[in-house]
């Protein structure tokens, strides 16, 4: 039987550009449509629509930075004590079950901090409070009512 062999080389050796036409046609990425994601808004747009329709646009990124951070208006226990003293002195203190009612949420404060001393048993209405502040109010014989934030 006759031995059938392929030619030694099928790579067009000896033909300078090996079938790629002029010298630059097989150089770099020009014949491939660009490197990487080049042309996704141009000549590959139909490919993007078919295979990656969500490639462009916003996708649930949560912005960070000071302009997006919620700002808490805070008040300390010591300042609340001063407010209660003023209310008692003027006779404006509202009492409920022997406790002076202080609604700091309606005053525009969103958080109560624990610095200072409290002399009066109070019922404090607030959106948010620290553990230390809550302990000081309970030591003075008071109660804390936490409201749910509307935001």
Q: How far is CA 96 from the centre of its chain?
A: 41
Q: Decide if pLDDT at 4 tops 80.
A: no
Share of the chain above pLDDT 90, in %: 56
Q: How many CB atoms lie within 10 A of CB 118?
A: 21
Segment 39-56 mean pLDDT: 95
In the chain, what are the domain boundaries?
A: 74-146
Fold adopted by 74-146: Ribosomal Protein L15; Chain: K; domain 2 (3.100.10)
Q: How confident is the model at residue 149 (pLDDT cuts 50, 70, 90)?
A: low
What pLDDT score was predicted for residue 150? 53
The full 3-state SS of the chain, as one line of letters, equals CCCCCCCCCCCCCCCCCCCCCCHHHHCCCHHHCCCCCCCCCCCCHHHHHHHCCCCCCCCCCCCCCHHHCCCCCEEEHHHHHHHHHHHHHHCCCCEECCEEEEECCCCCCCEEECCCCCCCCEEEEECCECHHHHHHHHHCCCEEEECCCCC
Q: Decide if pLDDT at 8 tops 70.
A: no
Q: How far is CA 135 from the centre of its chain?
A: 31
Segment 7-12 mean pLDDT: 72
Q: How confident is the model at residue 30 (pLDDT cuts 50, 70, 90)?
A: confident
Give the C-alpha separation, 101 to 11, whole Å.
93
Predicted confidence (pLDDT) per residue in 62-99, tens digit = 888 888 888 889 999 999 999 999 988 898 888 888 89
Tokens at residue 55, please? 């490639």
Strand duo 99-103 + 95-96: pairing: antiparallel
């Amino acid at each position: 039987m006759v031995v059938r062999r392929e030619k030694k080389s099928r790579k067009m050796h000896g033909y300078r550009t090996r079938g790629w036409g002029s010298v630059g046609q097989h150089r770099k990425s020009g014949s491939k449509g660009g490197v990487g994601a080049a042309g996704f808004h141009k000549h590959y747009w139909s490919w993007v629509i078919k295979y990656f329709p969500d490639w462009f646009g916003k996708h649930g990124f949560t912005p960070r930075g000071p302009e997006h951070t919620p700002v808490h208006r805070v008040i300390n226990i010591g300042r609340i004590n001063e407010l209660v003293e003023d209310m008692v002195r003027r006779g404006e203190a509202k009492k409920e079950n022997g406790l002076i009612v202080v609604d700091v949420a309606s005053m525009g404060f969103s958080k109560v901090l624990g610095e200072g001393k409290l002399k009066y048993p109070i019922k404090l209405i607030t959106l948010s409070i620290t553990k230390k502040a809550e302990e000081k109010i309970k030591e003075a014989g008071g109660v804390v009512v936490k409201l749910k934030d509307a935001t």
